[in-house]
Structure 1
Amino acid sequence: MTTNTTTAPTQAARRMDPAKPKRRSGRSSYPYWFYLPAALIYTVLFLVPTFASFFFSFTRWNLTDFTWIGMDNFVQFFSEEALLKGLTNTFIYGVVTSALKVVIGMLLAVLLTSQIIARGYLRSIIFFPVLLSSIGVGIVFTVLMDPSTGLINKALAVVGIDGPAWLTDPAWALMSVAFVDVWKGVGLATVIYIAGIVSIPSEYFEAAKMDGASPVKSFFNITLPLARPATATVIILSLIGGLRSFDLIWAMTKGGPGFTSDVIASVIFKQYQAGFYGLSTAGNVVLFLIVTAVIVPLSMFLNRKEVEA
């Protein structure tokens, strides 16, 4: 009787002990099925084309056959006369468009988060160009930038300024396309900055105002540092888009006049048009490696700075 009385409470305590959860008979694999659609799409749309591009960059190929030629495509690609100019233009274009989107996007975001009339309407207007087709924007601005009949030069002539040949002058062609790129894409940068600014607690601005800080000091001491994540996002997205830019440049200048506005993507497309499929594939691999080599260290640097801050 004594033994039974002692063991019964002990067994009940063990059953009710929360520190000892029930052992599961087996791990259910059901949740892992949710990964399958995304993994399948990622494999088909990214991994397979990426590995296929790397493979075919070492071949001379067409739609029916291929021949392994090793590094010949890369040697020929880097011996192209237009490549050095295209490589230089790619970095110039990417840096200029990224820098302008960061600066203008930040200033517009500060304006559009202030107490101004029709703030919501102005936000819509600034974001609207992002929704437009790059080819359509390129065609429209090609007409507007015509040196003799374009509205831009006519407007400049009214105030006594002789406008340049925006798209046919080698000194202006690349920068003209870059300015159009900024006009089209700055709305996205502005929206990202608006999201970053409105997430800053209002107490900081109220305290700065009570301390007598001017709006300029509040911007440099509060807005700019605390909007660092938004700045990192805008820099990365803008630089990726700038280094990979093709459609707007092709719609407006086709890399001309001469090679003065060629970028790596347009050089690759010209090789593809000429039937050098293996060579153009090698160019795509080079572009992929260049973008990766620039973006990955930059992203790590910006994220490290953000964590330290």
Structure 2
Amino acid sequence: MTKISIRTYSYAFLLPAGIIYFTFYLLPTFLSFFFSMTRWTLTDWDWIGFENYVTFFSETSLSIGFRNTIVYAVVTSALKVVLGLLLGAFLTSSILFKSYLRSVVFFPTLLSTIAVGIAFSVMMHPSTGLINNALGAIGINGPDWLGNTKIALLSVALVDVWKGVGIATVIYIAGITAIPREYYEALKIDGGNSRAAFRHITVPLSRPAMNSVIILAFIGGLRSFDLIWAMTKGGPGFTTDLIASIIYKQYQAGFYGLATAGNVILFICVSVLAFPLYKFLNKSEVNL
């Protein structure tokens, strides 16, 4: 066989995957940009230009989702990065029942997000919830976790962290166990303690794992929907609405063009924020 026929033969194996990728990813993406500039139904559409985008940014009930989404993504990703690192360092140290504790930390990740949301919405009930009843037993008057506009978004974010920190911990465990033990032994010979080992070896040399956790957690926070919908449905009012929940509400109300514009905005937001962050983290990465 000639070199050209071998190359053609090789590309033929990529054709089925290429067709699937084009049909279910590229084509819907391009159509989303088009239909975001229309007022459409399942049977008809009218071209309206950038009117959907103007509406999305001008309506307070819609634009509030941008602020909430950024706050939610920053809070959840920051807590997962810090807690995951601390748990990863703890679960790679010389402790008893290490494997069991690792499985306990990872277990919430296996649970359905909707089930977790429903369970915590019951536990966070202001009068009958388990959390406030436990606080009341020690003399603390618990707040209305999901009904107070000042803390509702933070309450959902903490549940998100509880469920997702297991993934971050596993990534950190993989990164920390890849660090050569000779570094720790050399520090110990020089008189360094465990705190010095964590600060000068574990943290800088687990940077690749940390970068992965930051990217995954931040993008997950920007795209979050199911936990918010299961716990608050965006309430009270619009105080816990994220971009994804606003998009879903617009689809429910029949504003398909407006909802499609929201999807495009979410896509652009994730791209604009995630790619520069990825480049920045890779530049500052420490290599062994």
Q: What TM-score, normalized by structure 2, do the two folds share?
A: 0.96
- Determine whether 1:254 maps to 2:254: no
Distance in 2 separating the partners of 1:308 and 1:202: 16
Percent pairwise identity = 63
What is the letter of the counterpart of residue 160 of structure 2? D
Choose the corresponding residue for 2:122, options 131, 135, 143. Answer: 143
* CA distance 1:244–1:115, change in 2 (3 Å): same
Aligned length: 286
Displaced runs of 4 or more, over 4 A = none
Distance in 2 separating the partners of 1:228 and 1:205: 17
- Determine whether 1:126 maps to 2:109: no
- Determine whether 1:104 maps to 2:76: no
Q: Given that residues 56 and 63 in structure 2 are in contact (C-alpha distance below 8 angstroms), is that contact kept between their aligned partners in structure 1? A: no
Structure 1 position 34, deviation (Å): 3.3
Distance in 1 separating the partners of 2:150 and 2:25: 38
Per the alignment, residue 66 of structure 1 pairs with 45
Per the alignment, residue 272 of structure 1 pairs with 251
Q: Secondary structure at the match of 2:39?
A: strand
Per the alignment, residue 151 of structure 2 pairs with 172
Structure 1 position 101, deviation (Å): 0.1
- Determine whether 1:237 maps to 2:237: no
What is the letter of the counterpart of residue 270 of structure 1? K
Q: CA RMSD in A?
A: 1.4
Distance in 1 separating the partners of 2:92 and 2:14: 39
Choose the corresponding residue for 2:160, options 181, 185, 193. Answer: 181
- Map Cα deviations across residues 86-107 of structure 1 (whole Å, 9 max, x no partner): 1111111000000000000000
Distance in 2 separating the partners of 1:222 and 1:101: 20
Distance in 2 separating the partners of 1:74 and 1:202: 55
Distance in 1 separating the partners of 2:53 and 2:65: 15
Distance in 1 separating the partners of 2:2 and 2:39: 56
Per the alignment, residue 202 of structure 1 pairs with 181
Distance in 1 separating the partners of 2:16 and 2:184: 46
Q: Any gaps of 5 or more consecutive residues in structure 1?
A: 1-23
Q: Given that residues 33 and 261 in structure 2 are in contact (C-alpha distance below 8 angstroms), is that contact kept between their aligned partners in structure 1? A: yes
Distance in 1 separating the partners of 2:139 and 2:30: 56
Choose the corresponding residue for 1:295, options 274, 279, 282. Answer: 274
Choose the corresponding residue for 2:94, options 115, 122, 127. Answer: 115
Per the alignment, residue 10 of structure 1 pairs with none
Distance in 2 separating the partners of 1:262 and 1:150: 23
Q: What TM-score, normalized by structure 1, do the two folds share?
A: 0.89
Per the alignment, residue 26 of structure 1 pairs with 3
Q: Secondary structure at the match of 1:306?
A: coil
Q: Any gaps of 5 or more consecutive residues in structure 2?
A: none
